[in-house]
Amino acid sequence: MGIFNIFKKKSGKEPPLKKKLSAMKCKTVNFSPVDFAELCAGMERSETELLTLKPVNYYAVKNEYIEAAFYSDDEHEENYVIFRLIRSDRPVSMSGTYPVSKDTLRKVYSKLGAVSF
């Protein structure tokens, strides 16, 4: 009966944050590379670390960049960001999930030239 266990659904539930993120809108932005560990430590201290990053075109530095995935609800009241360090089109490191305020997200989007709220 061990072979048929692969067809059973997993009884473990998704973490509530992961379930919440899957229901939110996602926007990815590429930033010029910085020290990834330092970026994660800075985000633990303050979300203003996000404003120090410089957006970059994928084709300009496609050998190494930091990809940020911004998750937002419809009103942009609840926002999160997850960073990934990409080298040669492969993810190398992934950060945790950091909350971002509406004002900080607006400032980041204004650097991109696309304020949607």
List the chain pLDDT tens, one digit each, 117 residues. 556 666 666 655 667 888 889 999 999 999 999 999 999 999 999 999 999 999 998 777 778 999 999 999 999 899 999 999 999 889 999 999 999 999 999 999 988 886 666
For residue 77, being part of any structural domain is answered with yes
Report the Cα 28 to chain-centroid distance in Å: 7
Residue 103, pLDDT score: 93
The phi and psi torsions of 84 (rounded to 5 degrees) equal -135, 135
**36 falls within a domain:** yes
**Burial of residue 16, with CB atoms counted within 10 A of its CB: 0-12 exposed, 13-18 middle, 19 or more buried:** exposed
- In terms of Cβ atoms closer than 10 Å to its own Cβ (0-12, 13-18, 19+), residue 21 is middle
Residue 36 in contact with residue 87, Cβ under 8 Å?
A: no
In a domain, 15, yes or no: no
Is 48 among the domain residues?
yes
Residue 53 lies in a domain: yes
Residues 70, 72: Cα–Cα separation, whole Å = 7
Is 35 part of any domain? yes
Domain that holds residue 96: 25-112
Asked whether residue 14 is assigned to any structural domain, the reply reads no
Domains of the chain: total: 1
Give the pLDDT of residue 10.
60
Cβ partners under 8 Å of residue 108, min gap 6: 29, 50, 51, 53, 70, 100
Confirm whether 16 is domain-assigned.
Answer: no
The pLDDT of residue 62 is 77
Global pTM exceeds 0.85: no
Quick one: DSSP state of residue 55? B
